[in-house]
Structure 1
Amino acid sequence: MKKRWLAGFLCIPLFLMMVTGCARAQISSVVFGAAAADWPVKVANVILAKEPAGVAVLSGNIADILLKLRYETVLKARSEDCSQNELSSLPVYSLDQAKELKNLGVDLALTDQTPTQDQTKAFSDAGIILLSLSPANGRADLCRLYTEVGTAVKGERTGYEQGARMAEQVLMGIDSVARIIPDKNVLLTGIYVSDLGGSTVTGDMFQNSILESAGITNVAADFKGGKMDLTALKRENPQVIFCPIGLKEKLESADIFEDLSAVKEGRVYEIDPNYMKWQGETVIFAVTEIAGFAYPELKQTGSLSAL
């Protein structure tokens, strides 16, 4: 299976994770605190009294994290954007189908969207806890998201610790790619563009870490909110451009892009758009693929496949 090829490298002894800031700072409040059991627990200001009997994941990103946590067996339903192969057998529902989810035995729903008042009321009336968890916005915040998901599904001790462990594994995985990037003193400037209107990966997004770990100096790093002024983009003139599958041809023919170095030199690369949305083990594959495009010699020497 594609998502298991890095397993050997990622099975680092547990004590290495316990000495990192992410794990140490957060786990200490659970392991050494007053809590002696997993339940009840508070996640994102919501109290969960007991372990959920059935979970609906209504976010492709959270689904990816649940797979990394190995908690997919608790799932009874998914949303359409949860397109991971491992979840293909689950029925598809949305935030507008609280009653139907209840009939499936769901008592906890996880999303990264902000539900409407009507949706919130519908889930409450159905007796389902609706938990909205925002995506990670940086490396340090990845641990927050993983431990929130883990805690919601498996409790304050069991789920929290698993979340911290798996977040650390992901970070160590992308750092393993960063260590083999050649010519680190030579800047390779680039950008990820998701549309022709200036939607990009900016410095306040976790995806900026993906570009950095792949050896890319993100020309949009000083911008925020996922938008970069197109005039500034032209001025920065990135050497490589990454975009979702299906956008390359339109991008290369657009006035604002056609004169950029990346376009003229044929260094525009399409990648799976979920690589810039999902924050489970997909993150490692994103870094690996981007690094392979940016530094072809890594593929030629087999450095990436050796990780």
Structure 2
Amino acid sequence: MKKRWLAGFLCIPLFLMMVTGCGQIQTSSTVSGAAVADWPVKVENVNLTKEPAGVAVLSGNIADILLKLRYETVLKARSEDCSQKELSSLPVYSLDQAKELKKLGVDLALTDQIPTQDQTKAFSDAGIILLSLSPANGRADLCRLYTEVGTAVKGERTGYEQGARMAEQVLMGIDSVARIIPNKNILLTGIYISDLDGSTVTGDMFQNSILESAGITNVAAGSEGGKMDLTALKRANPQVIFCPIGLKEKLESADIFENLSAVKEGRVYEIDPNYMKWQGETVIFAVTEIAGFAYPELKQTGSSSAS
């Protein structure tokens, strides 16, 4: 039943993305009327002279973006956190296995971690370019990340333009969900809690946009660094709480949370933890599912659309 309403509900933003198109995006395809060549190109102060023959993705988030860009065919290997089913056939490696990756034909590795000096040296010695690309920290930063990934894989013109188009498409998708949120004049406060120590989605994170687009006023929006003081959280008393799968029971029985309105009224919802980590197509699924929990009437809309 859940899959049915979710599939139907998703038809709404995806249809709106299709009919609206991506004509508003400004790309780097021309400079003073001249076409821009794909190679060489610089990404994060790293020079790339040619299209990579093989790519290792060592970040679940970047893997999600590569799937959105439709560049998964260039991949030779993945890290363990790249658990997308589309990549399940790829061998699993880590930042500590530069030599092994080279044997697979990898000449570019993408990660969102900060590698150690030893790891950086090992990749350099193996002849593999290692790019560390930080996750987007907000809506405005999403295009930066997408174009960096696209440019690294397919060049300054082809990759950049695809990255810009797909970033806009994701933002259009979550905005499409935001437009159909009911009762916009009624404030619904909420929070995403990832553990019992106050780790949460704060206002300086891209995931805050996910909550806002789903019609949630994030009570941790004024906090930073993914942490909110538990006393402040108790005082904010959110109406709905979202948490990773497996945490709900512990959260509801914890002293600091048990008297919150969301807990008392049975409005604690478990979601896939990757919804708050990945920034590819998963973003649209995250907004859609969170909105469906927060506004149950949307499930009726989704079920009707799927019929």
* Contact 2:13 2:173 (8 Å CA) reproduced: no
The answer to whether the 8 A contact 2:67-2:280 is kept is yes
Contact kept? 1:110, 1:133, Cα under 8 Å: yes
Q: Secondary structure at the match of 1:252?
A: helix
What do the CA deviations read for 1:125-149 (whole angstroms, capped 9, x no partner)? 0000000000000001000000000
Give the gaps of 5 or more residues in structure 1: none
Gaps of 5+ in 2: none
Q: How far apart are the structure 2 equivalents of 1:11 and 1:146?
A: 24
- Measured at CA, do residues 262 and 78 of structure 1 come closer, stay the same or move farther in structure 2, by a change above 3 Å? same
CA distance in 2, matches of 1:4, 1:161: 34
For these two proteins, the number of residue pairs brought into alignment is: 307
Q: 1:18 to 1:274 in 2, by over 3 A?
A: closer
Q: Secondary structure at the match of 2:12?
A: coil
CA separation of 1:14 and 1:259: change in aligned 2, threshold 3 A: closer
CA deviation map 1:158-197 (0-9, x unaligned): 0000000000110011011101100000000000000000
Q: Deviations over 1:182-228 (max 9, x none)?
A: 00000000000000000000000000000000000000000110000
Partner of 1:257, secondary structure, is coil
Which has the bigger relative contact order, CA under 8 A and spacing at least 6?
2
The DSSP-based 3-state class of the residue aligned with 2:156 is coil
Q: 1:287 to 1:17 in 2, by over 3 A?
A: closer
Normalised by the size of structure 2, how large is the TM-score? 0.91
Deviations 1:56-114 (A, max 9, x none): 00000000000000000000000000000000000000000000000000000000000
- The Cα of 1:27 is off from its aligned counterpart by 1.7
- Other structure's SS at 1:284 match: helix
Structure 1 residue 37: Cα displacement: 1.0
Is the contact made by 1:239 and 1:267 (CA closer than 8 Å) also made in structure 2? yes
- Quote how far apart the aligned CAs of 1:54 are: 0.1
- Alpha-carbon contact 2:170-2:284 (below 8 Å) kept: yes
Deviation sequence 1:217-265 (CA, Å, 0-9, x none): 0000001100000000000000000000000000000111000000000
Relative distance call for 1:113 and 1:93 in structure 2 (3 A) is same
Query: Once the two structures are aligned, what percentage of the paired residues are identical?
Result: 92
8 Å CA contact retained: 1:111, 1:133: yes
Counterpart CA distance in 1 for 2:93 and 2:78 is 6
Post-superposition offset of 1:30: 5.0
Q: What CA RMSD, in Å, does the superposition of the two structures yield over aligned residues?
A: 3.5
Partners of 2:111 and 2:298 in 1: how far apart? 37
Output the CA distance in 2 between the equivalents of 1:247 and 1:296. 22
SS at match of 2:233: helix
TM-score normalised by L of structure 1: 0.91
- The answer (yes or no) to whether the contact 2:8–2:303 under 8 Å persists in 1 is no
**1:36, distance to aligned residue in structure 2 (A):** 2.8
Deviations 1:22-52 (A, max 9, x none): 9978624755576631000000111100000
Distance 2:240 2:260 in 1: 9
Displacement of 1:2 after TM fit? 12
- Please list every run of at least 4 consecutive aligned residues from structure 1 whose deviation after the TM superposition is greater than 2 angstroms: 1-26, 28-36, 301-307
Q: 1:127–1:146: structure 2 CA closer, same or farther, 3 Å change rule?
A: same
Q: 1:233 to 1:7 in 2, by over 3 A?
A: closer
Residue 302 of structure 1: CA displacement? 2.5
Give the Cα separation in 2 of the matches to 1:37 and 1:237: 54
State how far apart, in whole Å, the 2-side matches of 1:9 and 1:162 are.
26
TM-aligned CA distance change 1:84 to 1:40, over 3 Å: same
Indicate if the aligned counterparts of 1:202 and 1:228 stay in contact, CA closer than 8 A.
yes
